[in-house]
C-alpha cells in the first residue's frame, strides 16, 4: 500500500519528468518583422501556436530593412515584411544594402494587409481620392480646406522604420512624385500613429489593424500589399511548422 509520503514522491517525480519533456518540446523562432505582419498575423497566432506545439515566437518589430540585414547576418530565423519580395530587394538596394545573390533566399506570401490613411480626429474629411492623397503626401496640398476639410494646416507624418508601407504607397499612389520634404519624421508604425494622434491636422499611413477610435481614417482607394516571409536557405523545421500553421490551423485566428 502506498503511503502519503510515497505518493507525494511519485507525484513530484512525474511533475519533474513532465517539466523536462515540456522544456524539450519548447522551441523559439526568432523573427524580424514589420508592423503589418505583427498586427495582422503574429499577435493573433502567438499563443495558439505555443499551446499547439510549444513554439514560442520571439519577434522584433524592426522593419523589413533591418530584418533582412539581421537574417543575412544569421541573427534571426526569418524576416517578414509587408512588401513583395522583388520590391523588398529594391528597398534594400535603395538603402545601400543590395543583395548580390537573391537566389540564396526563399520567400512565401503568408497574408495580405491594407494600408490605411490615419488622420487626427480633428480632420473629419469623409473621403480622399487618389489624386488628393498624391497632392497631400507630396506636399502640393498644404491645408485641409483644399480637400473639403477645416481651415487647418496639413501635417504629414512619415516613419523611418516602415519602408515597406512607404514603398507600396509610393508605387500605388505617388508614382514618380516624392514624399514631401516637410514631413514630420517618426519611426515605427506605432510611433507614426502616436504622432498623428498628438498633432492637430496630422495625417500618416498605417495598417488596417491600427484603425480605431483614436484616429480618423477617411475612405480611400484600396491600397493592398502582400505580407512576405523570407528565409536564408531552406527554412528550419520550426519555421516550416510556422509556415504550415499559418496556412492551415492559424487561419481561424488570422481571419478574426
Mean model confidence pLDDT for the chain:
89
Q: What is the pLDDT of residue 23?
A: 37
What would the pLDDT profile of 202-249 be if each residue is shown by its tens digit?
A: 999 998 889 999 999 999 999 999 999 999 999 999 999 999 999 999
Q: Can you tell me the distance from the alpha carbon of 59 to that of 68, in angstroms, rounded to the nearest whole number?
A: 14
Q: Can you tell me the distance from the alpha carbon of 232 to that of 149, in angstroms, rounded to the nearest whole number?
A: 48
Global pTM value = 0.77
**Domains of the chain: residue spans and CATH:** 27-113+226-254 (3.40.190.10), 114-225 (3.40.190.10)
Q: Where are the beta strands (DSSP E) in the chain?
A: 27-33, 55-61, 78-81, 105-119, 155-159, 184-186, 202-207, 224-232
What would the pLDDT profile of 20-67 be if each residue is shown by its tens digit?
A: 433 334 589 999 998 889 888 999 999 999 998 889 999 998 889 999
Around 251, how many Cα atoms within 13 Å sit in the side-chain half-sphere?
7
What would the pLDDT profile of 70-95 be if each residue is shown by its tens digit?
A: 999 999 999 999 999 999 999 999 99
**Count of helices and strands (H, E) across the chain:** 10, 8
What would the pLDDT profile of 93-120 be if each residue is shown by its tens digit?
A: 999 999 989 999 999 999 998 999 999 9
The DSSP symbol for 208 reads: G
Q: What is the pLDDT of residue 256?
A: 74
Nine-digit cell string for 51:
499551446
pLDDT of residue 192 exceeding 70: yes
More confident residue, 195 or 52: 195
Amino acid at each position: 500500500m502506498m503511503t502519503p509520503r510515497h505518493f507525494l514522491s511519485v507525484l513530484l517525480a512525474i511533475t519533474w519528468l513532465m517539466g523536462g519533456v515540456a522544456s524539450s518540446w519548447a522551441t523559439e523562432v526568432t523573427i524580424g518583422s514589420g508592423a503589418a505582419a505583427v498586427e495582422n498575423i503574429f499577435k493573433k497566432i502567438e499563443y495558439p501556436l505555443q499551446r499547439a506545439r510549444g513554439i514560442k515566437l520571439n519577434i522584433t518589430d524592426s522593419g523589413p530593412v533591418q530584418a533582412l540585414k539581421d537574417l543575412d547576418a544569421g541573427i534571426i530565423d526569418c524576416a517578414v515584411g509587408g512588401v513583395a519580395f522583388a520590391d523588398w530587394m529594391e528597398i534594400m538596394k535603395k538603402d545601400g544594402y543590395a543583395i548580390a545573390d537573391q537566389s540564396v533566399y526563399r520567400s512565401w506570401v503568408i497574408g495580405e494587409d491594407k494600408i490605411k490613411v490615419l488622420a487626427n480626429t480633428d480632420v473629419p474629411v469623409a473621403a480622399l481620392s487618389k489624386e488628393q492623397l498624391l497632392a497631400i503626401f507630396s506636399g502640393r496640398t498644404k491645408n485641409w480646406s483644399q480637400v473639403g476639410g477645416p481651415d487647418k494646416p496639413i501635417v504629414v507624418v512619415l516613419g523611418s522604420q516602415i519602408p515597406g508601407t512607404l514603398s507600396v504607397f509610393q508605387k500605388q499612389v505617388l508614382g514618380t512624385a516624392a514624399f514631401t520634404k516637410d514631413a514630420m519624421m517618426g519611426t515605427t508604425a506605432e510611433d507614426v500613429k502616436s504622432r498623428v494622434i498628438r498633432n492637430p491636422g496630422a495625417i500618416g499611413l498605417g495598417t488596417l489593424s491600427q484603425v480605431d477610435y483614436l484616429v480618423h481614417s477617411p475612405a480611400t482607394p484600396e491600397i493592398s500589399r502582400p505580407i512576405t516571409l523570407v528565409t536564408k536557405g531552406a527554412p528550419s523545421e520550426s519555421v516550416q511548422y510556422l509556415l504550415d500553421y499559418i496556412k492551415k490551423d492559424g487561419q481561424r485566428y488570422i481571419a478574426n
